[in-house]
């Protein structure tokens, strides 16, 4: 009887000792270096002109990142391309849309960037090399570039990170949407001007005509009269010659300022963010209300045509305000740096109607964590069916803005509590307005694909609700 009792008492001790020995053995093996374990993703290398700082990498949503084993490739490059990659894994979203992408000749896409294919190539091998996009203001309309890269990498076991909201398929019969990889904004920026050398028709116009001819002859276009096609025309002047003929398609645009509603409208088309030109600032408590000395910031062209006349009026209303920075200035070599510093030290940043309803300043403001003040009655905003902009932007109608002291009284009446609340919200949504390669969960690339999916589902109720709230909070 005594022997049995002693045995029962020893059993817990033996169990605890066994567990300790097992844990010790595992730790010994880990420290010995004989067991190969996946290393965490510690570096993401974007294309030239789209640098991601160390602070930005640190604040990426790491639970979404899939571990990879370092395969020895150098993922950094000082040349004009991004080279190499780790072994990233794409976890396809169950609701991911299936996208068929035309194999257009390089002259429509990466050929505009100087890429020349080898005999066996239709596209760059994005696992090894990514042609770089021009910097400066040209980069603000680079939407089609990022979407094309995302599709090219969606079937790769090497490039993608996190969830894919769109996956490339190679049979158009399997697709939810047909993507047209024409870099229309870049073509306009590079080749729309006529010179004696180019002749009477610009290269951009010739490409538009070729694109229309190509699409009109495709069975995919004829099947639904192009209504399931996705075409990016983000620059307001891009694809102007071809838009009417391609009107049934879904367009990805910056706004609808120069396009008749019968050609482009919110019912079928998607508004995408500009790629901002200022440096993204990391979340920093020292950049809150009390540490921003400038009340209101604007720098840009003051004398504009069309609706931009409001800029002149506001300039004369604000120029004597000591805590307002409202000056004329074009984008130049140090322009982005100056704007970054100015916006980061300002409480509010003006986004004014100009030649078109939208401008890149809204997205520069968001990247600077500067509360946007939007004065543009006809502006359309990216992803407004899922984002309530009244939570982090201030909307002022053009008629109210022209009233003496209206804007100043409104802004001076917003105290630190209200401003900090909006500031916290803008920090939460800022990543939705960033373009990445590889794309990241919730960034602009993935948000655009999600917007395409919602268009396919014809969901617009929440968009109407958020649009109705624009002027509600502060009026």
Write the CB contacts of 460 (distance below 8 Å, at least 6 apart in sequence): 266, 267, 385
Following DSSP, what letter does each residue of 122-183 receive, concatenated? SS--TTTEEEPPP-GGGGGG-HHHHHHHHHHHTT-SSS--SEEEEEEES-GGG-SEEEE---
Domain boundary among 238, 271, 304: 271
Please report whether residue 222 resides in a domain. yes
pLDDT at residue 85, as a whole number:
41
- Both 184 and 113 in one domain: the answer is yes
Q: Are residues 331 and 252 in the same domain?
A: no
**C-alpha–C-alpha distance, residues 192 and 132, integer Å:** 21
**Domain for residue 312, yes or no?**
yes
395/374 Cα distance (integer angstroms): 5
State how far the alpha carbon of 347 is from the alpha carbons of 150, 279, 311, 416, 418, in Å: 35, 17, 20, 10, 12
Is there a domain that residue 350 lies in? Answer: yes
- Same domain, residue pair 254 and 320: no
Q: Tell me, yes or no, whether 251 and 133 share the same domain.
A: yes
**Helix 444-456 and helix 143-153: axis angle, to 10°?**
80
Domain with 357 in it: what CATH number? 3.40.50.2000
The CA–CA distances, whole Å, from 207 to 106, 237, 241, 287, 341 equal: 11, 14, 10, 47, 40
| Last residue in a domain, options 223, 239, 271 | 271
pLDDT at 10: 57
In the chain, the N- to C-terminal Cα span, in Å, equals 86
Selection from 454, 460, 453, 458 nearest residue 176 by Cα: 453
Let me know if residue 189 belongs to a domain.
yes
Q: Which residue has the tokens 């100009």?
A: 354
What pLDDT score was predicted for residue 5? Answer: 52
- 57 domain-assigned: no
What gap in Å lies between CA 208 and CA 21, rounded to an integer?
A: 72
Q: Does 278 map to a domain?
A: no
List C-alpha distances in Å: 406 to 321, 323, 475.
13, 16, 11
Tell me, yes or no, whether 290 and 403 share the same domain. yes
- Determine, yes or no, domain membership for 230: yes
10-residue stretch averages of pLDDT, the chain, 475 residues long: 52 63 54 36 31 31 27 28 40 78 97 91 89 90 97 70 80 97 97 74 95 98 96 97 97 94 95 94 74 92 72 89 86 72 94 90 95 96 97 96 95 96 95 94 96 83 76 70
Note the pLDDT of residue 327: 86
Which residues constitute the domain of residue 299?
A: 285-434
**CA-based R_g, the chain, Å:** 26
Q: What is the pLDDT of residue 21?
A: 64
Strand partners, 294: 346
Give, in order, the Cα–Cα distances in Å from 465 to each of 60, 251, 264: 30, 23, 21
- Count of domains observed in the chain: 2
The Cα 450–Cα 12 span in angstroms is 55
Query: Is residue 293 assigned to a domain?
Result: yes
pTM here is 0.78
Assigned token pair, 196: 């004696």
Shared-domain flag, residues 245 and 340: no
Contact criterion met (CB below 8 Å) for 374 and 393: yes
Do residues 188 and 310 both lie within one domain? Answer: no
Are both 227 and 296 inside the same structural domain? no
304 and 422 assigned to the same domain:
yes
Residues 208 and 343 occupy one common structural domain: no
Predicted local distance difference test score (pLDDT) of residue 137: 85
- Give the Cβ contact number of residue 165 at 10 Å: 25
Clarify whether residues 220 and 142 are in a common domain.
yes
In a shared domain, residues 313 and 221: no
């Amino acid at each position: 009887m005594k022997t049995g009792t002693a045995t029962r008492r020893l059993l817990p001790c033996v169990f605890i000792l066994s567990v300790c020995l097992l844990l010790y053995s595992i730790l010994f093996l880990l420290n010995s270096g004989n067991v190969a374990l996946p290393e965490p993703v510690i570096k993401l290398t974007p294309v030239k002109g789209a640098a991601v700082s160390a602070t930005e990498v640190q604040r990426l949503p790491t639970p979404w990142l899939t571990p990879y084993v370092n395969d020895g490739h150098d993922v950094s490059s000082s040349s004009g391309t991004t080279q190499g990659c780790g072994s990233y894994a794409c976890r396809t979203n169950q609701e991911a849309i299936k996208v068929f992408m035309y194999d257009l000749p390089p002259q429509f896409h990466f050929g505009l960037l100087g890429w020349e294919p080898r005999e066996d190539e239709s596209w760059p091998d994005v696992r090894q090399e990514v042609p770089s996009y021009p910097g400066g203001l040209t980069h603000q309309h680079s939407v089609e570039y990022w979407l094309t890269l995302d599709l090219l990498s969606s079937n790769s076991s090497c490039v993608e990170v996190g969830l894919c909201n769109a996956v490339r398929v190679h049979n158009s019969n399997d697709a939810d949407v047909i993507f047209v990889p024409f870099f229309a904004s870049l073509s306009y920026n590079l080749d729309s001007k006529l010179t004696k050398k180019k002749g009477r028709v610009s290269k951009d116009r010739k490409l538009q005509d070729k694109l229309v001819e190509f699409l009109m002859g495709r069975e995919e276009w004829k099947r639904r009269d192009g209504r399931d096609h996705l075409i990016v025309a983000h620059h307001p002047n891009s694809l102007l010659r071809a838009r009417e003929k391609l009107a049934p398609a879904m367009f990805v645009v910056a706004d609808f300022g120069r396009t008749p509603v019968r050609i482009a409208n919110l019912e079928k088309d998607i508004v995408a963010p500009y790629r901002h030109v200022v440096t993204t600032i990391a979340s920093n408590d020292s950049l809150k209300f009390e540490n921003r000395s400038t009340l209101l910031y604007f720098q840009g062209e003051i004398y504009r045509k069309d609706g931009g006349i409001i800029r002149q009026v506001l300039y004369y209303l604000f120029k004597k305000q000591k805590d307002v920075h409202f000056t004329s200035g074009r984008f130049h070599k140090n322009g982005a740096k100056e704007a970054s510093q100015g916006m980061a030290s300002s409480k509010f940043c003006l986004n004014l109607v100009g030649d078109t309803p939208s401008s890149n300043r809204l997205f520069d403001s968001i990247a600077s964590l500067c509360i946007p003040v939007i004065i543009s009655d006809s502006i359309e905003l990216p992803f407004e069916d899922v984002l309530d902009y009244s939570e982090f932007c201030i909307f002022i109608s053009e008629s109210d803005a022209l009233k003496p002291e209206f804007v100043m009284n409104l802004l001076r009446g917003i105290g630190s509590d209200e401003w900090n609340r909006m500031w916290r919200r803008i920090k939460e949504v800022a990543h939705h307005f960033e373009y990445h390669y590889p794309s990241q969960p919730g960034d602009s690339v993935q948000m655009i694909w999600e917007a395409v999916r919602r268009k396919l589902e014809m969901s617009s109720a929440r968009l109407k609700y958020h649009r109705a709230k624009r002027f509600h909070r502060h009026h």
